[in-house]
């Protein structure tokens, strides 16, 4: 039997398991500038893909914290080829107005000429030092949450001190089993590895659905970063992960609490503007050629996230 080729060979084990590479750039913007990257209006620029769930997290926090006039943003073409993420004019994506880069790989090369592994989004670029600050979405979520507070009227805190000891372990659980879990299933190159990832994924979704039966959000009445970390996977699930990544035991629409929760978050002020199903579907189905060699993009599923979510009575 011919073994399925890996989508990203350098990130696969001999056993057929996908092992995501670590983020290579972990600089940090701070309010006081002690890190070497002081928070400032207009100094930093965010490079993202609307298709990518990791980038989507940073787009959401930037939106919620009202930092659109503080941190610039450019969206790459959702269709990624062997040259990587590209800056092209098109519906919902654009040329690079900051550096005139044609490809995001140029930002990586400008920061570290010896960088040899996969180029990823998001990227936070510093226009003063002319280098990348970070390619870690986790770090950027935290930076955007607090470092730029003096430049925004938003008092929202997505990482409140009184919940941090609970937020961190739930973040890890969701990342390992759900956020990355869909990729571990979809990129598996052996049956047993795929089945193990899918079982873990749906066990986690079952656990989260039960948790949400008695509370509106993951920690009750307050929305925190963990909710948005989960949202970016849930909103892509039925459109992409269910079919493309073979995560098809159930759909999110089949979960009474998770589906209402997804709609509740989608309807939160400004969030639907950050979701682009055209970019999402075209990216996954036209980019992962080892999984979908025909590059045919499905028309469905028909889904409406604007109907009443029915969760307003929960605390």
**Residue from 44, 47, 108, 183 carrying the catalytic annotation:** 183
Distance CA 21, CA 118 (A): 8
Do the Cβ atoms of 94 and 279 come closer than 8 Å? Answer: no
DSSP 151: G
Look up tokens 């870690």; give the residue.
136
Residues 167-188 as b or e (16 or more Cβ within 10 Å = b): beebbeebbebbbbbbbbbbbb
Residue 261: phi, psi to the nearest 5? -60, -45
Q: Which is the catalytic residue, given 44, 52, 108, 247?
A: 52
User: Which ranges of 66-175 would DSSP assign to H, the alpha helix?
Assistant: 105-111, 137-146, 164-174
Does the annotation mark 268 as catalytic?
A: no
Instruction: Give dist(CA 181, CA 194) in Å, integer.
Output: 10
Helix (H, G, I), strand (E, B) or coil at 44: strand
| DSSP SS3 for 252 | helix
Rounded to whole angstroms, the Cα distance separating 28 from 238 reads 35
Place of tokens 């670590």: 22
Catalytic-residue membership of 284: no
C-alpha distance from residue 259 to each of 40, 55, 205, 213, 253 (Å): 39, 22, 11, 11, 5
Q: In what order do the strands lie in the sheet with 72-75?
A: 72-75, 44-48, 123-126, 131-134
Candidates 115, 20, 97; CA nearest to 106 is: 115
Q: How many CA atoms lie within 13 Å of 176's alpha carbon, on the beta-carbon side?
A: 9
Q: Active-site residue numbers?
A: 52, 183
């Amino acid at each position: 039997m011919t073994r399925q080729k890996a989508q990203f060979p350098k990130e696969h084990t001999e056993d057929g398991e996908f092992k995501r590479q670590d983020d290579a750039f972990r600089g940090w913007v701070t309010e006081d500038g002690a890190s070497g990257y002081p928070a400032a209006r207009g100094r930093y620029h965010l490079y993202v893909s609307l298709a990518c769930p990791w980038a989507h997290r940073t787009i959401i926090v930037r939106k919620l914290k009202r930092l659109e006039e503080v941190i610039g943003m450019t969206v790459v073409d959702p269709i990624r080829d062997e040259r990587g993420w590209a800056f092209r004019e098109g519906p919902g994506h654009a040329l690079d107005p900051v550096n005139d880069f044609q490809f995001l790989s140029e930002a990586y090369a400008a920061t570290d000429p010896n960088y040899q592994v996969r180029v990823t989004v998001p990227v936070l670029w510093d226009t003063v030092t002319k280098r990348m600050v970070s390619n870690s979405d986790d770090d950027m979520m935290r930076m955007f949450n607090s470092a730029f507070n003096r430049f925004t009227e938003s008092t929202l805190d997505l990482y409140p001190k009184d919940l941090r000891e609970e937020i961190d372990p739930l973040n890890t659980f969701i990342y390992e089993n759900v956020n990355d879990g869909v990729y571990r299933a979809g990129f598996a190159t052996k049956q047993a590895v795929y089945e193990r990832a899918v079982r873990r994924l749906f066990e986690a979704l079952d656990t989260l659905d039960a948790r949400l039966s008695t509370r509106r959000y993951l920690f009750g009445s307050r929305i925190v970063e963990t909710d948005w970390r989960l949202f970016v996977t849930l909103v892509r699930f039925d459109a992409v992960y269910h079919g493309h990544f073979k995560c098809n035991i159930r759909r999110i629409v089949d979960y009474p609490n998770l589906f209402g929760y997804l709609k509740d978050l989608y309807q939160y002020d400004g969030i639907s503007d950050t979701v682009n199903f055209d970019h999402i579907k075209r990216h996954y189905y036209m980019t992962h050629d080892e999984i979908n060699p025909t590059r045919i993009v499905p028309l469905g599923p028909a889904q409406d996230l604007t109907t009443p979510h029915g969760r307003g009575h929960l605390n």
